[in-house]
Amino acid sequence: MAQYKICQRTLDADLLHEVAGRSGQNVAECYQCGKCTAGCPMAGFMDVPPNQVTRMLQIGDLAVLETKTIWLCVSCETCVTRCPREVDLPRLMDALRQITYERFNEQPIRIRTLVLDALIETWRGMKKGLKIGTPHAQRLFSATFLENIRRFGRSFEAGLIGSVNLNVGSPLGNMDKGPEMLMKGKLKILPDKNCAVTRIQELFAKIEELEKKTL
Amino acid sequence: MKYAYYPGCSLHSSAHEYDQSMRAVFSQLGMELEEIEDWVCCGSTPAHMANELLSVALPLMNLLPARRQGLDVVVPCAACFSAFKVAIARAESDDHVRGQLASVLDEEYEGVRVLHALEAITDGPGLERISEQSLHSLRGLRVACYYGCLLTRPPKVKKFDDAENPQSMDRLVSALGGEPVEWSHKGVCCGASFSLTVLDVVHSLTGDILEQAKKAGADCILVACPLCHSNLDLRQGDIERERDIKIGLPILYFTQLLGLALGCEPESLGLDKNFVSPGWIIDRITANDIELDSAAGNEAEAAALRGGQSDNG
């Protein structure tokens, strides 16, 4: 059984300050009533229930960054709507996601690492007979989505689906819907052309400059 | 009444019928939509998962042209609507964020009113006027109104309808003579963008929504979000096979149903694009012709077909 030593050092951990700063939330407000977990549509799929994420932050357990939970939160906002202390848990989840996202971005071969991780996780999962996606798939999805809008200014759905599929090792995923969607005019083969791509690229560049990080 | 219109990425592709029906309905109701020039993606879910400033800057970049024209902004997609409302809330409450925004957008933030399409339609012309303008009644149609997550939650940010038991779509259906059903899953998450990465979860959540709507006796489900529509419609067949059940519920954007009631042609509302065919619903509604009844001097019947505004809320 894991043993936690709660002392000033764990409570002063940099991570906790960083999470508090980014999210504007004080995790000490949470008194573990469990209402968030009770209403969370994803709780049954998570490795750690939502209220335990707050608990892990309260006691300084850095393993919170390794959980599947933070990437399985779908930001449905049910928890924050019901929390008697008004702790914005989706925002805490965002802060944790942003931190892990940035740690990946610090690696020089970021996309290749993400793809490799995703493939390995998928293969491991398949061996265990699991179909549920992993943090890597969700992180990859976010990264691919943002790369797309940086290139085209708007989300290019066909490109997004294609690259996510390839990168998680299921190239034919969702392909059965493709033909019908194409016929009904619900799928664009080429991205939208006429929009302010340069403005978006400038925005990304300015944010990277301001925050000294890669998006 | 003129609005700046932000369709969002989905309405230009997988949710094209939502765009079609939005334009048709707004036109019928005498409201003008002017698409924001050179709009960019709002960032949706991925932006706030990756970078806080990006998630706030992207939506606000789109609001600047509207503000210059002095127009309120109408947004049909719930995810885009959420991105806008959150960005505005952050900018208005946090000086530091406002400062950062000014440096990356080269413009000072100023408030703009952003409305979801459902809000613009129900608050704008008003239910009474919509009811009077309707040519076909929804009488005999039982509708499960599905609000999803982002239209109303969190209430302090969205400031629209009730977060636990929303009623705006229900009231619209009643005003058009239809019967909104009471059901358990009107605000329960469908799994949203996990559709591409964690499909099992979507099948589980969306499957439950479909089953509960069916159990409540609904003939169809009404939605106000492209991703909800996609999960409930595109995935319905796979879910039926997986659970070995029969659902057969057409999924309609609320603008499509409203458009039918107002007398728009089904093709102009994109009703040929659904995976689960709404053919029988179109037939039933177009058969409820209010004008015929009025013309025949049957005012009482016509009034009954129009329906009232229920006080479910």
pLDDT band, residue B29 (cuts 50/70/90): very high
Q: What is the mean pLDDT of residues B32-38?
A: 92
Residue type, B76: P
Whole-prediction pTM: 0.90
Q: Tokens at residue A181, please?
A: 């969607």
Q: Which residue has the higher pLDDT, A137 or B30?
A: B30
**Nearest-by-CA chain B residue for A211:** B53
Are the beta carbons of A107 and A114 closer than 8 angstroms? no
The torsion region of residue A32 among left (phi > 0), alpha (psi -120 to 50) and beta comes to left
Report the C-alpha gap between A106 and B183 in whole angstroms.
48
Q: Which residue has the higher pLDDT, B119 or B111?
A: B119
Has residue B87 got a pLDDT over 60? yes
H or E stretch including B223?
strand B220-223
Q: Tokens at residue A86, please?
A: 């008004």
Q: Which residue has the higher pLDDT, A116 or A40?
A: A40
Q: What is the mean pLDDT of residues A60-88?
A: 92
Report the C-alpha gap between B59 and B57 in whole angstroms.
6
- B137 phi and psi angles, rounded to 5 deg: -90, 155
- Asked if B41 lies within 8 A of A185 by C-beta distance, the reply is no
Task: Choose the mutation target among A19, A75, A99 for the interface with B, i.e. most B CBs under 10 Å.
Answer: A75
Report the C-alpha gap between B57 and B104 in whole angstroms.
8
ipTM over the 0.85 cut-off: yes
Q: Which residue has the higher pLDDT, B46 or A8?
A: B46
Strands B32-35 and B220-223: unpaired
Q: Tokens at residue A122, please?
A: 């998928």
Residue type, B270: G
- Asked if B188 lies within 8 A of A41 by C-beta distance, the reply is yes
In Å, how far from its chain's centre is CA B127? 16
Nearest to B41 by CA among A17, A139, A92, A195: A195
Q: What is the mean pLDDT of residues B75-81?
A: 96
Of A24, A80, A101, the CB nearest to B50: A101
Average pLDDT, chain B: 90
Has residue B302 got a pLDDT over 70? no
Nearest to A30 by CA among A63, A60, A52, A6: A52
Task: Choose the mutation target among A68, A92, A114, A138 for the interface with B, i.e. most B CBs under 10 Å.
Answer: A138
pLDDT at position B311 is 43
Find the length of chain B: 313
Distances (CA, A) of B233 to B228, B270, B278: 8, 14, 11
Report the C-alpha gap between A99 and B52 in whole angstroms.
11
pLDDT at position A132 is 47
Q: Tokens at residue B48, please?
A: 């706030």
pLDDT at position A178 is 80
Nearest to B122 by CA among B265, B313, B309: B309
pLDDT in tens, A97-115: 988 888 766 554 455 566 6
pLDDT in tens, A8-42: 666 657 888 889 889 999 998 999 999 999 999 99
Which has the minimum average pLDDT: A5-19, B49-63, B193-207?
A: A5-19
For residue B35, the distance in angstroms to the closest alpha carbon of chain A comes to: 12
